[in-house]
Chain A
Amino acid sequence: MQAWVLSGLGFSWPTALIDSAVSNILLAAACVLVSNTLQYYLPQQERYWYILVLSLALSGGWLLGIKYLLPLLIADNGDYYAFLSRSWYVRFGVALLLVGCMAMISVLWYTFEEQKASARRKADAEKLRKDAELYKLRQQLQPHFLFNSLNSINALIGARPQEARKMVQQLSDFLRGTLKREEHQWIELQEELEYLQLYLDIEKVRFGNRLSTVFETEPASLPFKIPAMLLQPLVENAIKFGLYDTVGDTVIRIASTVKDGLLELTVENPYDAETSQPGKGTGFGLNSIQRRLFLLFSRQDLLTVQATGNVFTTTVKIPQQ
C-alpha cells in the first residue's frame, strides 16, 4: 500500500517498492523485537512508561535504520531525498503507533498467559498439600493398630464386656491425643509418657502376656520437653520389631536421663540377630524419625542404634529449645 501511495506521488515503481519493502521489513523486525522483549520481561503494574520508552527507542532506531539504508539503496533523482526528509515525522509517527500497539498487545497476551500458568501452579501446589495432609492423617490414624484394636474390642464384647468398655475408653483417649497433637508442638516428657501409657495399655490387651514394658525414668528428666509424635513412633517401632521378630515374650525398656543438658531417651527391644540385619543404615524403619530429627535440629547424630546380643537399643538425644 505504501508503494502504491509513493508511486502515486510521482516516484518510479522500483524506488517506491524498495522504499516500502525496506521500511516495512525493518518495522516488522522492530515489532518482533518488542514482542520478544516483553515475553521475557513483563513490566510491573503502573510501570507502563517502560513500554512507552521501549516503543520510542525502537521507533527511533527504526528511523535511523531507514535514514541510512534508503539513500544507500535508492539513487537520488532529486525529488526523492527531498521527499524523504519531509516524511520523517510521518514515518516516525506511524512506526511509533505500530510498535506501541504491538507492545500493548504483547503485554496483554503475556499477562494473560502468565495468569493462566500461575493459576495452574497454584492448583498443583494445593493438590500436593492436600495429598500430604491426607497421608499424614492416615499415618496418624495407624490403620493397622486401629483395626486390630477394634477387632480385640469386638472379641471382648461377648466374653468380657467390662474390659471391652475399658478398652473403648483407652482407644478414644489415645485417638483424641493423636488428633490434638501437632507436629511442631513441644510437650513435656511427663505428658508424653502418660499418652504413651495409653498406647501401651491397648497393645497389652491385644498381645496379652507376650508384651511387657519397663520404665526407668529419671525424675529430673520429666519436665524436659520433646517434640510431639516422636516418642510414640519410637516405641511403636520397638514393639513391632520385638513382637514380629521373635516368637517369645517381648520386654520393651524405656529409659530417660539427662546428659550434658540434653534429654536422652532410650528404647530397647529384643530382636533376632540371625535373621534381622539392623546393620543396614539405621534400619528397623527408623528413617522417618531420623528425618524428623534432622528437620528439627539440622543434626544427623541425634539418633543412634546399637545391637548387642539379642537386644536392639535405640537412643535419641533431644536438645532443649
Chain B
Amino acid sequence: MKKIIIIDDEALARSMVTEYLQGYPGLQVVQECSDGFEGVKAIMQHQPDLIFLDIQMPKINGFEMLELIEQRPAVIFTTAFDEYAIKAFETHAVDYLLKPFSKERFDKALRKWMDQREAPSAEPTRELLEAASLTPAQSQRIVVKNGPKIKIIPVNDVQYLEAADDYVKIHTNDGYFLKNKTMSHFEQALDAQQFVRSHRSYIVNVQQITRIDPYEKDAHIAILRTGARVPVSKTGYVKLRQALGL
C-alpha cells in the first residue's frame, strides 16, 4: 500500500483528488492538510510516497514547505495559475496539474510517477526547488525550521548570513537560524540592492551597516547596528560601496 498526503487549503480541491484516487486500490490517502505547517508535520509522521501539493497556501507556500522537509517524497503540484511556478515546472517538474484538471490528465500524472519510481531520482525536486525559490515571495522572507517550530523571517529582520559547512547561518535580532542552502542560492534569491556578498562566507544586509572600518591590508570590516562585525573582502568592499552609493 502506497501512502499519499494531499495538501491544499481548499477542501473541495482536496476532495477532487480523493475522488480521482478512488480508482487506485493500491494507493491510500493517509492525511489531508489545509496548510504547509500541517503538511510538514504529516509528512514527518507518515513518510508518504507521494504528495499532492498546492502552491498558494496560508502562511507558507508549497515551495517553502518542501524546503523544510529533509526526506522529500515525490511531489505532484496542483495549482490554478502561477506564472512563476509554471516557468519552474517547465524545466524540472515531476509533474504538475493545472486546476481544474480532468481524470485523464490526473491518471497520466500518476502513471508518470509510477514510471519514475522504478528509476528513482531525487534530482528533479531539488532543481525544481532551486528554480522556484526565485519567486517573489521568497525574496521577501526566509522560512526556517527551528526544532519542531516553523519560523518565517522577514528579510528586513536579517542582519547577515554566514556560511557554515552545508548550512547557512541566518543571523537575526532573535539569534541565528540554520538553513540547508548555499550562499550562492541566497545571493541569487535576495534583493541585490539590500543584500551584498561582502565576503566569500558572508552576505550582509546593507541597511544594518552603521560603518565600515579598514582591517589589516586590503580588508575591511562592517560594523552593524547590533555591534556585530562582518568581514569585507577586497572585491566585497567594491560591491558594498556600489550598493551604498559611495
Quick one: CB contact mask for B24-68 with A, threshold 8 Å, 1 for yes?
A: 000000000011010000000000000000001111000000000
Contact B11 A151 (CB under 8 A): no
Tell me if A246 is interfacial: C-beta within 8 Å of chain B: yes
State in angstroms the CA–CA spacing of A277 and B99 once bound together.
31
Contact A144 B56 (CB under 8 A): yes
Q: A154-B100, A158-B19, A275-B154 are in contact. Are A143 and B80 (CB under 8 A)?
A: yes
**CB neighbors of B among A145-161 (8 A):** 147-148, 150-156, 158-159
Tell me if B191 is interfacial: C-beta within 8 Å of chain A: no
| Complex: chain A residue closest to B141, CB-CB | A275
Contacting residues, chain A, for B98 (C-beta < 8 A): 147
Contacting residues, chain B, for A83 (C-beta < 8 A): none
State in angstroms the CA–CA spacing of A241 and B80 once bound together.
18
State in angstroms the CA–CA spacing of A151 and B11 once bound together.
11
Contacting residues, chain A, for B99 (C-beta < 8 A): 147-148, 150-151
Interface-centre pick from A150, A154, A272 (highest chain B CB count, 10 A): A154
State in angstroms the CA–CA spacing of A156 and B154 once bound together.
38
**B68 shortest CB reach to chain A, Å:** 15
**A138 shortest CB reach to chain B, Å:** 11
Contacting residues, chain B, for A206 (C-beta < 8 A): 10, 12
**A152 shortest CB reach to chain B, Å:** 4
State in angstroms the CA–CA spacing of A244 and B10 once bound together.
12
Tell me if A243 is interfacial: C-beta within 8 Å of chain B: yes
Tell me if A251 is interfacial: C-beta within 8 Å of chain B: no
Contact A151 B152 (CB under 8 A): no
Contacting residues, chain A, for B156 (C-beta < 8 A): 277
Tell me if A177 is interfacial: C-beta within 8 Å of chain B: no
Tell me if B130 is interfacial: C-beta within 8 Å of chain A: no
| Complex: chain A residue closest to B98, CB-CB | A147
Contacting residues, chain B, for A152 (C-beta < 8 A): 10, 12-13
| Complex: chain B residue closest to A272, CB-CB | B59
Q: A150-B100, A275-B141 are in contact. Are A247 and B80 (CB under 8 A)?
A: no
12 interchain pairs, CB-CB under 8 A: A144-B80, A147-B99, A148-B13, A151-B80, A151-B99, A155-B16, A208-B10, A244-B56, A244-B59, A245-B58, A246-B59, A275-B154
**A285 shortest CB reach to chain B, Å:** 12
Contacting residues, chain B, for A144 (C-beta < 8 A): 56, 80-81
Tell me if B180 is interfacial: C-beta within 8 Å of chain A: no
Tell me if A207 is interfacial: C-beta within 8 Å of chain B: yes
Quick one: CB contact mask for B70-107 with A, threshold 8 Å, 1 for yes?
A: 00000000001100000000000000001111000000
**CB neighbors of A among B117-163 (8 A):** 141, 152, 154, 156
State in angstroms the CA–CA spacing of A206 and B100 once bound together.
13
| Complex: chain A residue closest to B54, CB-CB | A148
Give 11 new A-B contacts, CB below 8 A, not counting A144-B81, A152-B13, A206-B10. Answer: A143-B80, A144-B80, A147-B80, A147-B100, A152-B12, A155-B15, A243-B9, A244-B57, A245-B58, A247-B35, A275-B141
State in angstroms the CA–CA spacing of A106 and B98 once bound together.
61
